[in-house]
Amino acid sequence: MLSVSDLRVSYGRIEVVHGISFEAKAGEITCLIGPNGAGKSTTLWALSGILRSVGGRLRFDGLDVTGFAPQDVVKHGLSLVPENRLVFPNLSVTENLRMGAYQRLRSDKRGVSEDIEKMLEYFPRLRKRTNQEAGTMSGGEQQMLALARALMASPKMLMLDEPSLGLAPMVVEEIFEIMGALHKAGTSILLVEQNVQLALNYAHRIVALELGSVAFNGEPKELVESDFVHESYLGRTNLPSKTGGP
């Protein structure tokens, strides 16, 4: 579904992603892992059109989307949930959800209202907060709102950037259970996650980045068996033997 070929991304004159290539298949959860500064978030921002790549090709669902503006990337079915949530803090929960469907607010008001109701069913915590300003909610509730807002665009693939960051373990578990349910319902997922245990438990494919390059690309069980990646990323911690999808 998503094919990244020789992607290069720079900040000014400094290239931070050095010709990476990988695929995220339809119906799967693909996870990008790696240390801080490896280029994971930069890659997602380039895929979403927020950052312009300086080289390489991006194909999504059979279409070359290289150089597409962010709104056109969303229009064709690829949505990003950014790191640190980035909800609209002064808007209510309902207003945030409506912003997720901004491209059809005028043309499909009924459909937008129906989709908001679906999101409140997916995320029952938000139902009690519909009129509350998003910036006054807990971190976990804001993460759920950011996820629900991205889903309002009816994406074919959802990109999640560090959804566990800064959240309590019980909230992280809830977020990932919801992510697993979304996957089972048919949403393909590209996940950036530093919690390797979670990545191994949920992902069908792991892509490990190191200093802007691909250091590993394979199934989770291959990651567990890889001495190089084990030493580079996992510090010889105990890892689960079971891997490969929720």
Q: Is the pLDDT of residue 229 over 70?
A: no
Intervals of CATH 3.40.50.300 along the chain: 1-77+157-246
CATH fold of 1-77+157-246: Rossmann fold (3.40.50)
162-216 confidence digits (pLDDT tens): 998 888 888 888 888 888 889 998 999 999 988 888 888 889 999 999 899 998 9
Tokens 């949920």 identify what position?
A: 202
Are the C-beta atoms of 201 and 191 separated by less than 8 Å? Answer: no
CB atoms near residue 224 (< 10 Å) = 18
Instruction: Give the pLDDT band of residue 223 (cuts 50, 70, 90).
Output: confident
Q: What's the count of helices (H) and strands (E) in the chain, helices before strands?
A: 10, 10
Contacts 24+ apart (CB under 8 A), 64-72: 71/103
Strands 205-210 and 78-81, how do they pair?
unpaired
139-153 confidence digits (pLDDT tens): 999 999 999 999 999
Type of residue at 94: T
Q: SS3 of 109, please? A: helix
In 3D space, the residue among 12, 14, 32 whose CA is nearest the CA of residue 24 turns out to be 32
Q: Between 34 and 245, where is the model more confident?
A: 34
